[in-house]
């Protein structure tokens, strides 16, 4: 069994998570070690309870890694990309906790887009926030900047749609598996992106949406991006989590200044006070690796 086959099989095992996969990798980069361990040694290595290790042990020895891999190979427009594949995004390799496995649907070339911008914000954006997206993004989209967001309602939707309307490229990062597209209101958008753009998830297709998965999803949005642009956010919101994760990853974070009277400006102004840079022109989203800009703005 090769490493990718073992990793895929282990990633879908009961009670497996990023830390436990990392523990296995530190002991054996081939990921074959768990298949040769007793229940007691698995329990010790992965810090499991006896009932958990029993279930994991049965999974490892009673389900076939090859059948799992074959099933995905026969699924139309679904690709499995592990951290050890050449097409795995280099940007993700440099974050603290890169996903071990990505389930990908769409144009795989977008994984290596030369310029990437994450756009995040409120699920209930104001007209001001929507207009800002429609105004600031098109000049970047026309210069081949790939727009990344989370396919959520509101700001995410407007960002993806704007990229599509301007014949650009966009990547959607899901917080669930492909068989449980969320939210349902974006089913048509998700299906279009899975064919014409790019959708990806670190969760197997059968994984339903759960609250804790979305903050985990956000680290991938920021990790794939050169710059993160936050349009509107309350004091506590998922988009703020994405911005702070971006800062932890060493990414640039730009913020749309807003009205001092709007609750959706409280989070963005908080970030501005903590060092994020204000954005009111497309040129403000400049990144040093982007050759599409010069000192006077967009070329």
State the DSSP string of 37-86: --HHHHHHHHT--HHHHHHHHHHHHHS-HHHHHHHHHTSTT-EEEETTST
Tell whether omega for the bond before 183 is within 30 degrees of 0, i.e. cis.
Answer: yes
Q: Token digits for 179?
A: 């068989």
The more confident residue out of 8 and 287 is: 8
pLDDT of residue 295: 53
Tokens of 242: 């994405």
Work out the average pLDDT over 267-271. Answer: 93
Decide if pLDDT at 197 tops 80.
Answer: yes
Structural domains of the chain ordered from first start: 1-72 (1.10.150), 108-298 (3.40.50.450)
Tell which wins on pLDDT, 160 or 275: 160
DSSP tally for the chain: helices H, then strands E:
12, 11
* Spatial separation of the C-alpha atoms in residues 231 and 212, rounded to whole Å: 23
pTM, 2 dp:
0.94
Burial environment of residue 121 by CB neighbours within 10 A (0 to 12, 13 to 18, 19 or more): buried
Q: How confident is the model at residue 296 (pLDDT cuts 50, 70, 90)?
A: low
pLDDT recorded at residue 238: 83
**Beta partners for residue 147, in sequence order:** 117, 170
Pairing of strands 101-106, 79-82: antiparallel
Helix axes 127-141, 155-165, angle to 10 degrees: 40
d(CA 206, CA 178): 7
Query: Do residues 239 and 266 touch, judged by C-beta distance below 8 A?
Result: no
Q: What percent of the chain has pLDDT over 90?
A: 89
Are the beta carbons of 122 and 256 closer than 8 angstroms?
Answer: no
pLDDT of the residue at 175 = 95
pLDDT digits (tens, 9 = 90+) for 144-181: 999 999 999 999 999 999 999 999 999 999 999 999 99
How confident is the model at residue 49, as a pLDDT? 95
DSSP result, 226-264:
SEEEE----SS-HHHHHHHHHHHTT-EEEE----TT-GG
Q: Can you tell me the mean pLDDT for 32-42?
A: 96
DSSP state of 97: S
Q: How confident is the model at residue 298 (pLDDT cuts 50, 70, 90)?
A: low
Q: Which residues does residue 172 pair with via DSSP β-bridges, in sequence order?
A: 149, 199
pLDDT of residue 291: 72
**What pLDDT is recorded for position 246?**
93
């Amino acid at each position: 069994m090769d490493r990718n086959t073992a990793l895929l099989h282990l990633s879908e095992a009961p009670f497996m998570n990023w830390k436990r996969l990392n523990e296995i990798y530190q002991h054996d980069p081939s990921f074959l070690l768990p298949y040769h361990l007793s229940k007691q040694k698995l329990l010790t290595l992965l810090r499991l309870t006896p009932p958990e290790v029993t279930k994991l042990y049965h999974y490892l020895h009673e389900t076939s890694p090859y059948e799992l891999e074959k099933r995905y190979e026969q699924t139309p427009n679904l690709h499995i990309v592990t951290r050890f594949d050449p097409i795995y995004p280099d940007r993700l390799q440099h974050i603290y906790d890169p996903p071990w496995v990505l389930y990908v649907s769409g144009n795989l070339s977008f994984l290596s887009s030369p310029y990437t911008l994450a756009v995040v914000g409120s699920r209930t954006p104001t007209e001001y926030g929507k207009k800002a997206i429609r105004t600031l993004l098109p000049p970047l989209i026309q210069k081949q900047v790939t727009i990344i967001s989370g396919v959520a309602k509101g700001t995410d939707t407007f960002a993806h749609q704007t990229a599509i309307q301007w014949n650009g490229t966009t990547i959607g990062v899901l917080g669930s598996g492909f068989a449980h597209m969320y939210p349902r209101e974006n089913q048509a958008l998700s299906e279009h992106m899975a064919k014409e753009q790019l959708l990806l998830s670190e969760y197997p297709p059968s994984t339903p949406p759960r609250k804790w998965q979305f903050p985990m999803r956000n680290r991938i949005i920021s990790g794939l991006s050169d710059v993160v642009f936050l349009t509107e956010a309350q004091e506590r919101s998922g988009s703020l989590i994405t911005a702070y994760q971006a800062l932890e990853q060493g990414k640039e974070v730009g913020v749309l200044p807003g009205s001092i009277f709007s609750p959706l400006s409280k989070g963005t102004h908080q970030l501005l006070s903590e060092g994020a840079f204000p954005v009111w022109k497309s040129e403000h989203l400049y990144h040093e690796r982007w050759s599409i800009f010069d000192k006077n703005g967009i070329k």
